[in-house]
Amino acid sequence: MQPQYRRGDRAAAVAEFRARLAQIGFSVESDDPDYFDDRVDDAVRSFQQARGLTVDGIVGAATLRRIDEAKWRLGDRPLSF
């Protein structure tokens, strides 16, 4: 089972998806990057709403997958035939 992260959690994975959210335009500033605080919760909810996901503030498998997919832009990956 994929771990889920929510407000109040502290983990290295929080710093990873916080950085990815910032990379795609959902900036989250914090003194403690491993802590899932209210600002991260707001950014996650905004991201979920923008991507048509269930807006619950929980970063589970579907949200993590969409955060990872969102880092790619048209032309970032070479296509081969």
Q: pLDDT tens for residues 30-49? A: 889 999 999 999 999 999 99
Report which of 81, 79, 77, 62 is spatially closest to residue 17, judged by C-alpha positions: 62
Yes or no: say if 36 and 16 are a contact pair by the CB < 8 Å rule: no
Report whether pLDDT(80) > 80: no
Predicted structure pTM score: 0.86
Burial class (CB in 10 A: 0-12, 13-18, 19+), 35: middle
Report whether pLDDT(77) > 70: no
Taking residues 57-63, what's their average pLDDT?
Answer: 95
